[in-house]
Amino acid sequence: MFERVLTISGKPGLYRLLSQGRNMFIVEAVDASKKRLPVHNSDKVVMLDDIAIYTDTEEIPLREVFAKILEKEGGVLSFDLKAATPEELVEYFESVMPDYDRERVYLTHIKKIYAWYNILVENGVVDFAREEAAEDTAE
C-alpha cells in the first residue's frame, strides 16, 4: 500500500492513488476524512516511494527512514510536533539517522517526515520494510 501513497504540492496531508485517467488522477486522503478528489497533470505530485533522504555516503529511501522510526517508537511519535523545539526535532532525527547530511536536509524536511510518519501510522499504513523483504527473498 505504501507504493501508492503520494503527496500533492499545495495540499496538506497524504493521499492514496485510486485510479489514473488520461489527464488526471483520482486520489483519496489517507487520513480519517477519506475525502476523494481529482488531481490534474498540472499539479505537482510525488510518490513517497520516490523520496529519499541524503546521508553522508548515499541516499536512503524514505521508506527505510519510516521503518527506523517505527522500530524506535513502535507507533506514533512519542512527542508533540507542535510543542517540540527545533533542537529537539533535530536531536531525535539524529538518533534515528545519525549520518544524515546536515547541509541538505533542513528542519522543514524533518518536520514533514514526522508529520507524514504520524499520518501513515495513525491510519494503519506501516508496511515500510515490505519491499526490502521481497528483494531479500528474490536473491
In the chain, the domains with their CATH numbers are: 2-48 (2.30.30.730), 51-138 (1.10.10.1650)
Q: Rounded to whole angstroms, how far apart are CA atoms 118 and 84?
A: 15
Q: Are 94 and 100 in contact (CB under 8 A)?
A: yes
Q: Rounded to whole angstroms, how far apart are CA atoms 130 and 117?
A: 16
Identify which of 116, 8, 15, 18 has the alpha carbon closest to the alpha carbon of residue 62. Answer: 116
Distance of CA 24 to the CA centre of its chain: 22
- According to the model, what pLDDT value does residue 28 have? 94
Average pLDDT value over all residues in the chain: 88
pLDDT tens for each residue of 58-110: 999 999 999 999 999 888 888 888 999 999 999 999 999 999 999 999 999 99
pLDDT-above-70 percentage for the chain: 91
* pLDDT(21) > 50: yes
